[in-house]
């Protein structure tokens, strides 16, 4: 045990939450985790595992992975939901609220500041060069995500077939992302119920290596705290409050401003997104790009890459890129409000309706999590969804590549809609070279995301200043 870990209680200790961890100490630890939460969900989960399991020994390996598996069954950012879950497990409702809010706050403030810079100084050569470099690096990061998730999820031909079908559906047939997720989940669920071995999955993002810290060796012990036992009355109260906090503003905006107002559309769209976005941030981006760019026209394709670059270089969930989308949508359709005020309100609204549901999913389901332990059908559904997400992320990588590397796009009509194809003569040679360099750095030299983004942004700035 490390020197700064609390005294451990016996595994058969009272389940009343007397684990010796004060809420103040936990708050400081959650703030530290939030400040270190770079690198996407895999990096964020690894940080939580290192601090909470290995360093502090507040919870054990078994409980950590069980909570993670539950969070992966849910829509939304699993790392933030895992923080809510563990915070609740340690300090009841207040602990979950503090852990989840702190996990989001640093990224929200950082992206809000970068969004101001983007709209006020985005055409300044230095800023333009920084984002030019970030776009090229982000393309490499998305391709890396395809490879990383694919190597974990596509273990057999059935999973590869699901991924291929998802790619064809979204790229050629323009199928809605929620429909793809639901179809994959249903196929996986039925496959699991039927006992088909190809649907047996596992994994998640995994945890850090090293010696296993068992639940009995931790401050929480093996006993289940009283507040973690199913309580229908508490569940109904907390779910009612969270539903009101989530959907109350959406309904109020809809009734007061009307369905066509930009704030009503932001609230409605991102509330829908919070329900259907399984599979992580890159899958969310595919859905957002499909709707926010193509349907609503809130921002241009290249600006999606700028937003992802912001999310990649700031702490917090990558899904925070949606905040940038809401910011630009309100900035460009401010109505009677000053554009920056409207943009700020749009960013706050987007973040609110994106993350309040995350608390709802955890507080509603966590007390009943033991019922999900070892459920083969649900595990198989998640496995199939993860495979489909590989196809969705591949579509996102191609979409980003087309809009990053080519200056002109030509739509080609198909029986199911239109397909964007690049005009090959319009290729942007500097962007292609910078993207190739970023991919070599990521795949050949195994450099981390932050160094690659920083180097690409610097090169992009120098290039723009010199031309």
Question: What secondary structure letter does DSSP report for 412?
Answer: E
- Mean of the per-residue pLDDT values for the chain? 84
Average pLDDT over residues 234-259: 95
Residue 39: band (very low, low, confident or very high) from pLDDT cuts 50, 70, 90: low
| 438 in Cβ contact with 140 (< 8 Å) | yes
Stronger pLDDT, 38 or 213, i.e. the higher one: 213
pLDDT of residue 5: 41
- Distance spanning both ends of the chain, measured CA to CA: 57
Euclidean distance between CA atoms 87 and 85, whole angstroms: 5
Euclidean distance between CA atoms 367 and 390, whole angstroms: 31
Question: Rounded to two decimals, what is the model's pTM?
Answer: 0.75
Residue/partner pairs of 425-428 with CB below 8 Å, 24 or more apart: 428/404
pLDDT of residue 231: 83
Number of neighbouring beta carbons within 10 Å of residue 183: 18
Say if 77 falls within a structural domain. Answer: no
pLDDT of residue 413: 82
Calculated CA dihedral for residues 178, 172, 141, 309, nearest 10 degrees: -70
Euclidean distance between CA atoms 46 and 42, whole angstroms: 6
Percent of the chain with pLDDT over 70: 90
Tokens of 446: 């195994």
Say if 429 falls within a structural domain. Answer: yes
Say if 399 falls within a structural domain. Answer: yes
Kindly report, residue by residue over 187-218, the tens digit of the pLDDT.
999 998 898 888 876 544 544 445 677 777 88
Kindly report, residue by residue over 116-175, the tens digit of the pLDDT.
999 998 777 787 888 888 888 878 877 887 887 788 778 899 999 999 999 999 888 878
Tally of structural domains, the chain: 1
SS3 406: strand
| 357 in Cβ contact with 365 (< 8 Å) | no
| 315 in Cβ contact with 43 (< 8 Å) | no
Largest CA distance in the chain: 71
- Residue whose token pair is 């409207």: 342
Number of neighbouring beta carbons within 10 Å of residue 345: 17
pLDDT of residue 259: 93
Stronger pLDDT, 53 or 382, i.e. the higher one: 53
Euclidean distance between CA atoms 354 and 303, whole angstroms: 20
Kindly report, residue by residue over 394-424, the tens digit of the pLDDT.
887 888 788 888 988 888 887 776 787 899 9
Q: Which residues contact 132 (CB under 8 A, 6 or more apart)?
A: 431, 460, 461, 463, 464
Q: How far is CA 159 from the centre of its chain?
A: 22
Say if 206 falls within a structural domain. Answer: no
Stronger pLDDT, 112 or 466, i.e. the higher one: 112
pLDDT of residue 237: 94
Number of neighbouring beta carbons within 10 Å of residue 229: 12
Residue whose C-alpha is closest to residue 315's, from 96, 109, 465, 153: 109
Euclidean distance between CA atoms 78 and 116, whole angstroms: 28
Say if 212 falls within a structural domain. Answer: no
| 50 in Cβ contact with 61 (< 8 Å) | no
Number of neighbouring beta carbons within 10 Å of residue 23: 14
Percent of the chain with pLDDT over 90: 38
pLDDT of residue 10: 38
Euclidean distance between CA atoms 367 and 227, whole angstroms: 8
- E strand or H helix that includes residue 419: strand 417-422
Asked whether residue 8 carries a pLDDT value surpassing 70, the answer given is: no
Stronger pLDDT, 45 or 258, i.e. the higher one: 258
pLDDT of residue 232: 84
pLDDT of residue 265: 96
Asked whether residue 361 carries a pLDDT value surpassing 50, the answer given is: yes
| 19 in Cβ contact with 220 (< 8 Å) | yes
Say if 67 falls within a structural domain. Answer: no
Asked whether residue 318 carries a pLDDT value surpassing 60, the answer given is: yes
| 121 in Cβ contact with 127 (< 8 Å) | yes
Transcribe 39-82 into DSSP letters.
SHHHHHHHHHIIIIIIIS-SS-HHHHHHHHHHHHTSSS-HHHHH
Stronger pLDDT, 328 or 150, i.e. the higher one: 328
- E strand or H helix that includes residue 157: helix 157-171
Asked whether residue 22 carries a pLDDT value surpassing 60, the answer given is: yes
Residue 357 Cα distances to 117, 197, 268, angstroms? 29, 34, 13
SS3 6: coil
- E strand or H helix that includes residue 125: helix 125-153
Least confident window among 73-87, 367-381, 420-434:
367-381
Say if 97 falls within a structural domain. Answer: no
**Which residue range(s) make up the domain with 459?**
32-51+103-201+226-466
Average pLDDT over residues 319-332: 94
Least confident window among 18-22, 191-195, 332-336:
18-22
Average pLDDT over residues 276-302: 78
Say if 89 falls within a structural domain. Answer: no
User: Looking at the DSSP assignment, which residues form a beta bridge with residue 419?
Assistant: 412
Number of neighbouring beta carbons within 10 Å of residue 370: 14
């Amino acid at each position: 045990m490390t020197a700064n870990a609390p005294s451990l209680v016996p595994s058969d200790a009272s389940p009343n939450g007397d684990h010796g961890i004060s809420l103040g100490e936990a708050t400081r630890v959650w703030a530290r985790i939030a400040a270190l939460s770079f690198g996407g969900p895999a990096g964020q989960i690894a940080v939580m595992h290192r601090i909470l399991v290995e360093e502090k020994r507040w919870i054990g390996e078994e409980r950590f992975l069980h909570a993670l598996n539950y969070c992966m069954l849910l829509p939304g950012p699993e790392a933030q939901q895992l923080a809510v879950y563990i915070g609740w497990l340690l300090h009841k409702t207040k602990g979950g609220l503090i852990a989840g809010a702190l996990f989001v706050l640093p990224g929200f403030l950082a992206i809000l500041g970068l969004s101001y810079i983007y709209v006020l100084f985005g055409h300044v050569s230095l800023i333009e060069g920084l984002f030019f470099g970030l776009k090229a690096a982000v393309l490499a990061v998305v391709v890396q995500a395809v490879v990383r998730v694919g190597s974990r999820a596509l273990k057999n031909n059935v999973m590869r077939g699901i991924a291929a079908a998802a790619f064809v559906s979204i790229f050629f047939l323009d199928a809605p992302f929620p429909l793809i997720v639901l179809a994959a989940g249903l196929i996986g669920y039925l496959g699991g119920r039927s006992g088909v071995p190809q649907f047996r999955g596992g994994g998640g993002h995994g945890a850090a290596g090293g010696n296993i810290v068992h639940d009995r060796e931790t401050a929480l012990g093996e006993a289940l705290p009283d507040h973690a036992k199913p309580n229908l009355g508490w569940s109904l109260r907390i779910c009612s409050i969270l539903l009101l906090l989530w959907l109350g503003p959406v309904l109020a905006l809809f009734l007061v401003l009307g369905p066509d107002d930009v704030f009503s559309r932001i609230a409605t769209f991102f509330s829908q997104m919070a329900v259907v976005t399984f599979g992580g941030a890159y899958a969310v981006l595919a859905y957002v790009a499909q709707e926010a760019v193509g349907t609503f026209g809130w921002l241009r394709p290249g600006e999606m890459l700028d937003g992802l670059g912001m999310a990649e270089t700031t702490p917090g969930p990558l899904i925070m890129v949606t905040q940038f989308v809401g910011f630009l949508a309100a900035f460009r359709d401010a109505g009677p409000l000053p554009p920056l005020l409207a943009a700020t309100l749009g960013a706050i609204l987007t973040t609110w309706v994106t993350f309040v549901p995350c608390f709802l999913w955890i507080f509603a389901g966590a007390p009943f999590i033991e019922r999900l332990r070892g459920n083969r059908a649900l595990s198989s559904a998640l496995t199939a969804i993860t495979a489909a997400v590989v196809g969705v992320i591949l579509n996102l990588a191609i979409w980003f590549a087309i809009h990053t590397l080519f200056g002109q796009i030509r739509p080609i009509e198909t029986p199911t809609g239109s397909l964007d194809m690049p005009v090959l003569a319009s290729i942007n040679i500097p962007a292609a070279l910078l993207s190739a360099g970023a991919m070599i750095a990521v795949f050949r030299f195994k450099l981390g995301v932050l160094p690659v983004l920083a180097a690409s942004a610097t090169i992009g700035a120098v290039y723009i200043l010199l031309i």
